[in-house]
Structure 1
Amino acid sequence: MRIVKLSPQSLAFPSPEGALRDPNGLLAIGGDLTPSRLLAAYERGIFPWYSPGEAILWWSPDPRAVMFPAEHHVSRSLKRFLRANPFRITLNQDFAAVIAACAYRPDEGTWIGPEVQQAYLQLHQQGHAHSVEVWQEDKLVGGLYGVAQGALFCGESMFSRTTNASKCALMAFCRHFAAYGGELVDCQVLNAHTASLGAKEIPRRQFLQLLSHLQRRVLAPECWQSQVIPPHPVEPPSPTN
């Protein structure tokens, strides 16, 4: 197994099965972040991740962290929190602000540099990348963004500036996505935070099989229209005697 250097004249990627085991999933180096190359990568279960100023690295880890939206569990404490209705949650109303907020990590550093932000903003303008925004009054306090592949959503990053904001963004998105036929959210690599939100690991081969099946599904255009997403399910009124 070796890292493949991408050709600037071709959008071809090597098979994910050839990715390194250490570091887990490293597959290729080079290329660019044009919309066509990014889409070619996501269509094959590959994503970019690298430090600003360095060569672009392309990954397809094994195992893969995923979340099944229909199975997303909301804890009792979060349900109680939501009853207070502290947030307004929207879809595709300020993608640029969301990705900029995801990039702002002064204590950790970030891979989401200006080049990356511009690349995904182009994907958003073309209808491939989407954002969820969490508002407290008129202030953006949380959100997430990623790339759609039919009935699969490739989550890229999320942020939170107040308690439970990112959890509420993900919960509301999972419910909305599932309602339109979405079946899988790609979380890429499992960590303590994604695990606490319900992500689990599956073999890369299984993920690629699901990707091949789900990316052919076409969701209704209304799924991705700019809109308000209810922060919690609308419950029917209690029956009266």
Structure 2
Amino acid sequence: MPLTHRAAGGQHSGRRRWYVRLVAALLAAALAWHMLAGFIWSSGSSPIRNVVGATTLNSYMLPMFGQSWSVFAPNPIRSNTSFDVRATKPGTDEPTQWYSISGRDVDMAIKHHLLPSRLYLTNFQLMSHYRSAFDKLNDDGQAAVGTSYKNPSWSSALRNRLAGGSEASPDVATFISNARAVNALASAVAEARWGEHIDRVQIRTINTPVPPYDDRLDDDYHAQSTYIMTGWRPVSDVKNVDSTTINRMYGAKAGNR
């Protein structure tokens, strides 16, 4: 009896293993098809996609499994932004050449780096906030940003002009705060670049849209850049700045951009 019982149990176990193999094979086939369909869907037009058939692929992938780059980057950056500064020295109105702070950041922290530093994001975020605040000003306010000032209290004068003699709106207050921060950074970089004997700085940002994907190889495609250029501003007296680090990053020996 015990032998008969074990034999029956062995047959039952064998049947169970057969079903397990079948289910495992079906699951493996389904997984392989799903991975293949996802790959074909994401890879765009290809001979394999034509073999599978657009109707078959669409009916499987949509609406549950549709994929695109927007899943991972729903609002990607679509433009290149340059943050530039130039300066003058006392007794002359001849400005220096424009120096690209953002270009230097890219060269220093990203270009040819296997593991890029995220240090450049500090300046990038500052410039992004500055441009966003500028865009919220009305046309007269944006034009006023191009006015030059000689007095160290230029930000108060600009605030009053943007506010039209009344209390500054939140948008104006935000822009002035960002403008002071941008001028402070530009002043520190300019002093490191051209020496401490400078008296004025001017800032510009250039925003150039990235070419559409279909036009990326078209040599005749030219994106329309937009500029924000301030008037001349007095050099900001920035407190507690690590001048050694600023000189190392942006000084005359740090490289041109």
Query: TM-score w.r.t. structure 2 length?
Result: 0.21
Structure showing greater Rg:
2
Query: TM-score w.r.t. structure 1 length?
Result: 0.22
Q: Which has the higher strand share?
A: 1
